[in-house]
Amino acid sequence: MLPIDDTPIVRDGNALILAMDHGLEHGPVDFKAVPEKLDPSTVFETATHDAVTCMAVQKGIAEGYYPSYEDDVNLLVKLNGTSNLWMGEPDSSVNCSVEYAAEIGADAVGFTLYGGSNNEVEMAEEFREIHEAAREYDLPVVMWSYPRGQGVKNDTKPSTISYASRLALELGADIAKVKYPGSRDAMAHAVKSAGDMKVVMSGGSKKDDLQFLSSVEAVIDAGANGLAVGRNVWQRQDPSRILDALEKVIYEGETADAALGE
């Protein structure tokens, strides 16, 4: 494992990864309510907030927009990703090499692994290659550990999420990004299953402020290390307000209510 706490994508042991790869994963539909966010610069601007430890994007967005933000934003290049147009068993094409990610300024790399998919074996072999290459560049590896596919009936049930975090530890990830398993205790078990590896929660679709921050409070209380979030930040009209609150919950241990000033 890397000394992950010494890397720029971690602040005081925790992390807030702002993800914006939705244009590939879901299509422009995620920007419907906030059409101005179709311009990636607007989300890079949001990522300059102190609460954000890095921004996760695909290669094309990194190439086109990161140069204007490299002094103010840490970059995580997502190495694989697939569009919603793909109708097969869950899979994700490798779109960027570690070498190229390093060349365009990455501070970390990210990789989705769909455990339980009929493509798990090939994806794990691809992960091995990117993991070992990332070690040569001292780049932390964040695994989007998302069990889904024919082998998975319920992708957020507690035992599935614990398996997701354990699988990431065993394959060498430095941080696992997992879905919320529905309760603080279930998240605590997923964190315990991950040993010393860091675990962050995946944001999911947009919720109201208190509901969203309460789930973040629960995962921090469960020993997790923060959040990898997209829609719950940049789909808001004023992302800085929720980032101010997230900063208090993730790094200062405040409750959701206190962070919102309620």
* Residue whose C-beta lies closest to ligand FBP: 203
Residues 6 or more apart whose CB falls under 8 angstroms from that of 256 comprise 210, 213, 214, 216, 217, 245, 249
Cα separation, 10 vs 226, in Å, equals: 10
165 binds ligand FBP (CB under 6 A): no
Tell which one of 204, 209, 210, 258 touches ligand FBP (CB under 6 A): 204
Cα separation, 111 vs 130, in Å, equals: 8
Residue pair 233/203 in contact (Cβ under 8 Å)? The answer is yes
- Which tokens hold the place of 22? 């939705």
Mark the segment that binds ligand FBP (CB under 6 A) among 4-12, 97-105, 134-142, 197-205. Answer: 197-205
113 binds ligand FBP (CB under 6 A): no
Least distance from ligand FBP to the Cβ atom of residue 123, Å: 14
181 binds ligand FBP (CB under 6 A): no
25 binds ligand FBP (CB under 6 A): yes
Least distance from ligand FBP to the Cβ atom of residue 20, Å: 8
For the chain, give me the number of helices (H) and strands (E)? 11, 10
Q: Which of residues 224-243 bind ligand FBP (CB under 6 A)?
A: 228-232
100 carries an active-site annotation = no
- DSSP annotation of 206 reads -
Q: Which of residues 26-45 bind ligand FBP (CB under 6 A)?
A: 26
116 binds ligand FBP (CB under 6 A): no
Residue pair 192/224 in contact (Cβ under 8 Å)? The answer is no
Which stretches of 172-238 are DSSP H helices? 184-193, 209-221, 231-234
Least distance from ligand FBP to the Cβ atom of residue 136, Å: 25
Alpha-carbon Rg for the chain, nearest whole angstrom, is 17
Tell which one of 7, 15, 21, 164 touches ligand FBP (CB under 6 A): 21
Q: Which of 65, 69, 146, 251 is catalytic?
A: 146
146 carries an active-site annotation = yes
Residue pair 206/231 in contact (Cβ under 8 Å)? The answer is yes
Positions that interact with ligand FBP (CB under 6 A): 19, 21-22, 25-26, 144, 202-204, 228-232
As annotated, the active-site residues are: 146, 177
